[in-house]
């Protein structure tokens, strides 16, 4: 995908050697509502910030936070997985970082990024439906910051200095190159282990390839242990599915991650998460849907189901299907139909055309005798509503 040209970088930094002139200039622009303040001395153009989808705002906030700290920051847990290219879904966005010492652990709320919120609201109104706000309609805020001291994989990077070549090697062994791309599996040692002697350095990018900066993260096995061994299924499934789908040595990395867990309960949870993961899932929404369906006690559907005509011709390839009741399940991201997540510069009636195409596709599926259930991010966030929808469509409960 080609990056869209912009007159200035997305992440603006104050200069450290101009006597404070750049700092004052950036602060004045923030007061006018032209910029949002992401971290001390780090800003972004307001319009571009509002137009970014939530996951890209999270990446930008992570880079700004790391870039503004005097001491090196190592991201861990769900944040490490996300920055390594394996997305997770946190109901509340949180930057998870390793604490420098025990007393540093805890959760803190970052200041509002808006020096002039009224001006920002006017900008949001000008953007109309293209402006991306949170699901509850609020202007997007910065993630919380949660510092962890006692997490799985302790000692795999906290407070350690790593040479550039070492960071690149460790990133490659974790399946990620320093530029953010996927690497071939590194040659494993005799026991098939991946070194854990320091953090990996990754280049964080937007979906269109725009480089935001470099950050330090826990190696992939440590991040997997922290999430899959302690978090609910719905938190880890999108990342677990993606690792199984994309990583060339997924089984070996998972085996090492499991050895980092301290208790039998953590290992049992990890095993359940890894066994549940499915490489066929093609999106975060599909993965989260399957996890929520399972957590709520329903039979999970078959993924990537092909609906065919009586002559065997392919009519549609659907997200999922409960074959026993001939019910197709489809997760609908807003971008599919409304165009609300359109990139800056996008033009044309994206929403209307997509809606017409999808209506024709749905009609063709229904003519085969299949029912169709649809849900969105909002439905997954409202569990009682989602459960009621599944029950209304007759989705069977799984046996306990």
Q: Where are the alpha helices (DSSP H) in the chain?
A: 21-32, 46-51, 54-68, 77-83, 117-127, 164-173, 220-228, 233-246, 250-259, 264-276, 284-295, 350-366, 377-381, 383-392
Residues 166 and 46 reside in one and the same domain = yes
Per-residue pLDDT tens over the stretch 297-320: 999 999 999 998 888 889 888 999
Q: Provide the angle, in degrees to the nearest 10, between the axes of the packed helices 220-228 and 250-259.
A: 60
Q: Look up the domain containing 88 and give its range.
A: 12-220
Asked, for residue 38, whether it belongs to a domain, the answer is yes
Band of residue 179 on the pLDDT scale cut at 50, 70, 90:
very low
What three-state secondary structure class fits 269?
A: helix
Q: What is 187-214 written as a DSSP string?
A: PP-TT-----SS-EEEEEE-TT--EEEE
Band of residue 226 on the pLDDT scale cut at 50, 70, 90:
very high
The Cα–Cα gap between 330 and 328 comes to: 7
Band of residue 34 on the pLDDT scale cut at 50, 70, 90:
very high
Task: Quote the distance between the C-alpha of residue 199 and its chain's center.
Answer: 20
pLDDT for the residue numbered 337: 35
> Sign of dihedral through CA atoms 127, 131, 134, 135?
positive
Mean residue pLDDT of the chain comes to 82
The secondary structure of the chain in percent helix, strand, coil, rounded to multiples of 5, reads: 40, 15, 40
Residues 195 and 299 reside in one and the same domain = no
pLDDT for the residue numbered 193: 43
User: Which of 204, 220, 236 is the last residue before a domain boundary?
Assistant: 220
Q: Is there a contact between 334 and 377 (Cβ–Cβ < 8 Å)?
A: yes
Per-residue pLDDT tens over the stretch 309-361: 888 889 888 999 999 999 999 998 654 433 344 333 333 444 566 677 778 88
Q: Provide the angle, in degrees to the nearest 10, between the axes of the packed helices 284-295 and 383-392.
A: 80
Residues 298 and 190 reside in one and the same domain = no
Residues 23 and 138 reside in one and the same domain = yes
pLDDT for the residue numbered 53: 87
Beta pairing partners, 283: none
Q: Provide the angle, in degrees to the nearest 10, between the axes of the packed helices 233-246 and 220-228.
A: 150
Q: Is there a contact between 68 and 215 (Cβ–Cβ < 8 Å)?
A: no
Structure tokens at 213: 């900066």
Band of residue 139 on the pLDDT scale cut at 50, 70, 90:
confident
User: Which of 182, 203, 220 is the last residue before a domain boundary?
Assistant: 220
Burial class (CB in 10 A: 0-12, 13-18, 19+), 347: exposed
The Cα–Cα gap between 151 and 77 comes to: 8
Tracing tokens 């049992």 back to the chain, one arrives at 268
Between 381 and 160, where is the model more confident?
Answer: 381
DSSP 323: G
Residues 68 and 213 reside in one and the same domain = yes
| Of 43-52, 197-206, 250-259, 339-348, the least confident | 339-348
Tally the domains of the chain.
2
The Cα–Cα gap between 269 and 286 comes to: 21
Band of residue 399 on the pLDDT scale cut at 50, 70, 90:
confident
Check which CATH number belongs to the domain holding 327 and give it: 3.40.960.10
Structure tokens at 109: 């709320």
pLDDT for the residue numbered 154: 57
The percentage of the chain sitting over the pLDDT mark of 70, rounded to a whole number, equals 79
Tracing tokens 């599996």 back to the chain, one arrives at 185
The Cα–Cα gap between 206 and 97 comes to: 21
Asked, for residue 398, whether it belongs to a domain, the answer is no
Closest CA relative to residue 151, chosen from 73, 206, 97: 97
């Amino acid at each position: 995908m080609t990056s869209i040209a912009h007159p200035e970088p997305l992440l603006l930094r104050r200069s450290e050697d101009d006597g404070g002139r750049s700092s004052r200039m950036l602060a004045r622009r923030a007061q006018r509502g032209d910029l949002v303040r992401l971290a001390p001395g780090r800003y972004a153009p307001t319009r571009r910030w509002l137009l970014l989808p939530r996951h890209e705002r999270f990446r930008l906030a992570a880079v700004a936070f790391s870039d503004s700290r005097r001491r090196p920051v190592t991201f861990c847990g769900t944040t490490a997985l996300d920055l390594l290219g394996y997305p997770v879904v946190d109901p509340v966005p949180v930057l998870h970082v390793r604490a420098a010492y025990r007393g540093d652990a805890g959760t803190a709320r970052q200041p509002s990024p808006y020096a002039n919120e009224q001006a920002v609201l006017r900008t949001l109104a000008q953007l109309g439906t293209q402006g991306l706000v949170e699901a509850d309609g609020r202007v997007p805020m910065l993630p919380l910051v949660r510092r962890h001291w006692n997490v799985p994989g302790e000692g795999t990077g906290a407070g350690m200095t790593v040479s550039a070549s070492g960071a690149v090697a460790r990133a490659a062994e974790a399946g990620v190159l320093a530029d953010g791309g996927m690497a071939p599996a590194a040659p494993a040692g005799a026991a098939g282990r991946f070194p854990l002697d320091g953090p990996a350095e990754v280049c964080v990018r937007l979906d269109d390839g725009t480089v935001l900066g470099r950050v330090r993260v826990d190696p992939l096995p440590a991040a997997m242990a922290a999430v899959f061994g302690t978090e609910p299924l719905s938190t880890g499934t999108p990342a677990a599915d993606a690792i199984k789908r994309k990583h060339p040595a997924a089984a070996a990395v998972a085996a090492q991650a499991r050895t980092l867990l301290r208790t039998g309960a953590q290992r049992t949870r990890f095993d359940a998460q890894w066994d549940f993961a499915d490489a066929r899932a093609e999106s975060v929404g599909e993965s989260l849907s399957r996890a929520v369906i399972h957590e709520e006690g329903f039979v999970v559907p078959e993924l990537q189901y092909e609906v065919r005509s009586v002559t065997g011709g392919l009519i549609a390839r659907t997200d999922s299907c409960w074959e026993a009741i001939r019910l197709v399940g489809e997760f609908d991201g807003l971008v599919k139909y409304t165009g609300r997540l359109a990139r800056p510069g996008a033009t044309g009636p994206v929403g209307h055309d997509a809606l017409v195409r999808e209506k024709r596709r749905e009609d063709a599926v229904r003519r085969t005798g299949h029912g169709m259930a649809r849900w969105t991010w909002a439905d997954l966030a409202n569990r009682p509503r989602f459960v009621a929808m599944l029950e209304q469509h007759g989705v069977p409960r799984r046996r306990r």
